[in-house]
Amino acid sequence: MSTILITGGAGFIGTNFILDWVKNTDENIVNLDKLTYAGNLHNLVSLTNNPQHIFVQGDICDSERISTLLERYQPRAIIHMAAESHVDRSIHGPEYFIQTNITGTFRLLEAARHYWGDLSVSRKENFRFLHVSTDEVFGTLTKDAPAFTENHCFQPNSPYSASKASSDCLVRAYHHTYGLPVLTTHCSNNYGAYQFPEKLIPLMIVNALAGKPLPVYGDGQQIRDWLYVNDHCQAIRVVLEKGQPGETYNIGGWNEKSNLEIIHTICDVLQQFQQKDYRALITHVADRPGHDRRYAINAHKIERELGWRPLETFETGIRKTIQWYLENHDWVAEVQSGDYRKWVEINYTGRSQ
């Protein structure tokens, strides 16, 4: 049976990717995840008796574990998503980001290189290592500057984006030096079901529903390009099947919005559901240090070369997302247990208004 291996499949994008994968293909998917605070196996409970999904708890820094897995399951591709992913956490504690995002990616590449080197000629040719990266590696843009293309130089500004940029460089080097057939994607801000409520959109939804303040960093005029997670998952499948080894592809939503616009929309949609004035909860707090002002993705290459374009508009995607959080109180309550409360205290207590 043909198989792929995904890392970080119990996180936000990984969960959505696996659920879509099982819906859209017959191929097995092995999911290697350490289950950090961001990984949640309950997300995949609907697959408990489905042999197509094979879960393995483990760390991408553990070379032996990865090599054993590759030998055992003989995947035709690796989709590498495992990472420490939250910018604010990287500011408070960068060490984990260096370990997982740089060392972890290096160890995974090394194991993949040895595994790939021993494959038969045809399996070697068809093998792919798809690295999921971010638009944050390109740094920040002024309001009117053209959107990032794949050729934009790397200018990462946070420990998170610096660690992702380093991992991208390693992936690139493994292609140029060893010929490993790699693909790299740079995507913009995702939103949708199962996103941990440390990120802007789910944080605003769960705080609003709990009647808590909605903390806007600085003036709230920072701009992000919002991509519905299921569109992103489809784009990754397209890149995996049709992408050219050694190439990089931007994935974006064509959906630039300021943080305040996002928060206002969430408040207004929630008000239609719950008849309360959520905008009154908006509170400006101290800005994020080194806060990037604007990200924007030029996603023409993936459309032109591989025929992918996002399907969801922000208006439809945000409604589906809010509906999901309204219908999944238990999930929200579970992820907001002990450690989450500690994080909220670390990040928000002491941010002056």
Q: Kindly list the catalytic residues.
A: 135-136, 160
Taking residues 30 to 69 in sequence order and writing x for each that binds ligand DAU by CB under 6 A, - otherwise, the string is ----------------------------------------
> Does 320 participate in binding ligand DAU (rule CB under 6 A)?
no
> Does 43 participate in binding ligand NAD (rule CB under 6 A)?
no
Q: Which stretch binds ligand NAD (CB under 6 A): 75-83, 233-241, 314-322, 331-339?
A: 75-83
Size of the site for ligand DAU (CB under 6 A): 19
Q: Which is nearer to ligand NAD, 92 or 123 (CB)?
A: 92
Q: Which of 141, 184, 148, 179 is nearest to 165 (CA)?
A: 184
Please select the residue that binds ligand DAU; options are 234, 248, 259, 321, rule is CB under 6 A: 259
> Does 200 participate in binding ligand DAU (rule CB under 6 A)?
yes
Q: Which stretch binds ligand DAU (CB under 6 A): 91-99, 217-225, 320-328, 330-338?
A: 217-225
Tell me which residues touch ligand NAD (CB under 6 A). Answer: 7-8, 10-14, 33-36, 38-39, 59-61, 81-85, 100, 104, 132, 134, 164, 187, 189-190, 196
Tell me which residues touch ligand DAU (CB under 6 A). Answer: 85-87, 134-136, 188-189, 199-200, 203, 215-217, 222, 224, 259, 288, 295
